[in-house]
Chains A and B, each alone.
Chain A
Amino acid sequence: MTNASNANDLALLYRVGRGDRGAFSELYRLYQPRLYGYLRRLLPDPTTVEEVLDDVMLVVWKDARKFRGQSAMSTWIFGIAYRKAMTALRSEIRYQAPLDRSTDANAIADKTSPDIDWIRAALVHLSPDHRQVVELTYFSGFSYAEIAAIASCPINTVKTRMFHARRRLKVLLPALAGQAREHDRERA
């Protein structure tokens, strides 16, 4: 993030903190695509995504005054989204007999060609913590330091979560690792 865009973000958030609805509208439109994509990849139901997104933005509206610029504004907003998404993910597991999770891990690992259901099922087999770090790294493009700030945890925890997520995915999706090995051999 450049200093100029950081200053613009801070100015925008300052206006939101002063109760400027126009500024809030601008901020909402700025973040809605990224937040929607992030939440949609984690949560199965589009209605839940829209409601959780609004929950996130309501916290932004209420807490804008409290933001002191300790981190980039995007890290702060994603930190709020992370916590809301985490609660929603854990609730899915707690309150629902999780259909997706009942997919046998061996059956996933036996598949030889990637398709949507196959990869989705593998991701559902990750814990919410591990899924979040995979999502924030591969799709939202955050650095490990930013993820540590978003998840309010030490950098080493982020690295450890990613390590375990990778190991789990390797077991669940060996065909992808196999494709990589073939590709490697072709290049050698």
Chain B
Amino acid sequence: MNARKLMPHEEAIELLPWLINDSLSGDERDTVLDHARSCVICRRETKALENLRDSVKRVISPAPIPAPDMRNINARIDALIHRQNLGRRWLSWIAEFCVSPWRIAFVAQTVLLVVLGTAVLWPTTRNAEFTTLTQSQDLADGHYLRVVFSPDLTHARLGVLLDDLGLAIVDGPSERGVYTLATQNSMTVAERDIALTHLSNHRSVLFAQPVDLGAAP
């Protein structure tokens, strides 16, 4: 006599897919099999699942798997390491530079001049930006990216790329194929610039440009 506790039908029938893929633990497997011996529904279901699995496997087994090609991934890792090294070099340069208070004062003065200069020249720069790309009437004030993707970029790939960068399409494509991108919440300049660097280095991006609308923070 079998001393194992009988498994209820509802529990057993749920586990059948993993019985046929042979991933149930020994005890669980034996308990499901015990149940199936006395349950015609589970036996029939097992057969149906095996049949489904075999048919699906037969028809959608992928064509021969290509040999690993690491050229693309190696180039991406090289670029990543290069960016990290560049960042480290900048940090150490800044640390070295800031040992003297005179240098700090010089940097502060330069930054102030740049900020004032930008404020004075702002309206001209803003008008200039809109001469190259179509302008959307409906976008709220904020920082955006305008991007032209390569035609070979698939929808799936586009989704993965945008998801990686936390971006969404908020407008476009325009007649010239220009998309306007933003983050879900309003994007800061720093976030926008990081996304811009990634997009500019991406092989499926033909063109990427920052756009500031209105008095965005």
Contact = CB atoms under 8 A, between A and B. Distances in A.
Interface of A: 21, 24-25, 28-29, 32-33, 36-37, 40-41, 43, 45, 47-48, 50-52, 54-55, 57-58, 61-62, 84, 87-92, 94-96, 114-116, 119-120, 123, 134, 137-139, 141-144, 146, 159, 162-163, 166, 169-170, 173, 176-177, 179-181, 183-184
Contacts of B99: none
A91 B60 contact: no
B44 interface: yes
Interface of A is mostly: helix
A90 B52 contact: no
Given A58-B76, A162-B14, A37 B155 contact: no
Contact of B160 (A24, A52, A115, A159): A52
A36 B154 contact: no
B48 A141 contact: no
A143 B17 contact: no
A89 B156 contact: yes
Contacts of B60: 41, 116, 119-120, 123
B19 to A, nearest CB: 11
- Which of B48, B49, B77, B158 counts the most A-chain CB atoms under 10 A from its CB? B48
B156 A183 contact: no
B96 interface: no
Given A119-B55, A138-B17, A47 B68 contact: no
Interface in B33-73: 43-44, 47-53, 55-57, 59-60, 62, 65-66, 68-70, 72-73
Contacts, number: 146
Contacts of B80: 58, 61-62
A108 to B, nearest CB: 13
Given A54-B76, A55-B164, A144-B18, A45 B156 contact: yes
Interface stretch (B1-9, B21-29, B103-111, B113-121): B21-29
Nearest to B163: A87
A33 B66 CA distance: 8
Interface residues of B, number: 45
Given A139-B57, A176-B52, A162 B17 contact: yes
A84 B162 CA distance: 11
Contact of A143 (B24, B65, B72, B158): B24
Contacts of B47: 180, 183-184
Given A29-B68, A184-B43, A48 B18 contact: no
A62 B44 CA distance: 47
25 contacts: A29-B68, A32-B68, A40-B62, A43-B156, A48-B157, A51-B160, A54-B76, A55-B164, A58-B80, A88-B157, A90-B159, A91-B159, A91-B163, A92-B156, A123-B60, A138-B57, A142-B23, A144-B23, A166-B49, A177-B48, A177-B51, A180-B47, A180-B48, A183-B51, A184-B44
